[in-house]
Structure 1
């Protein structure tokens, strides 16, 4: 398992660029986010995004995520998260379909 960038809380996990020098190609990213139903008013989305951005900017929250979970805390506008989800779907969708993976009930 590799990361795109080095993480302070897990220096033993190699960066992707370093791993590729050894011929390793496995890369997986775990991420968390908050979604709202389609059609949610833009003002509601903006208010929720501002609240979550304020929360993840708190030093104690950020430190706890980084040290206990090895997380890299990232925030940003909803549009960027939407693009990220689309990119992840484009990358992993074919793998999921080829493997016949289905959501469990």
Structure 2
């Protein structure tokens, strides 16, 4: 299952917003508990976790803020406000499936 994260560059002069999709899997942490880990494979075959994948594609700054897209379905129709969204909260008919898609970086 793919999970989308939306990033915002921490460099005030840049301020770029971009999105990436990550595979999620559960990782055991002990005492019968597991936590989700979000990672993607780069062009070189290396795996990168979402929390460490914060280099801005415009200015190469490393202070980006990442937010996992969280959505729930409502009767509101999905439109450009959803696909071009810069925040992480989705409240429309897609339930987060299209949220921030316009900023998606495909590699």
Q: Normalising by structure 1, what TM-score?
A: 0.27
Structure of greater relative contact order (alpha carbons < 8 Å, 6+ residues apart): 2
Which of the pair has more CA radius of gyration?
Answer: 1
Higher strand share: 2
TM-score, with structure 2 as normaliser: 0.26
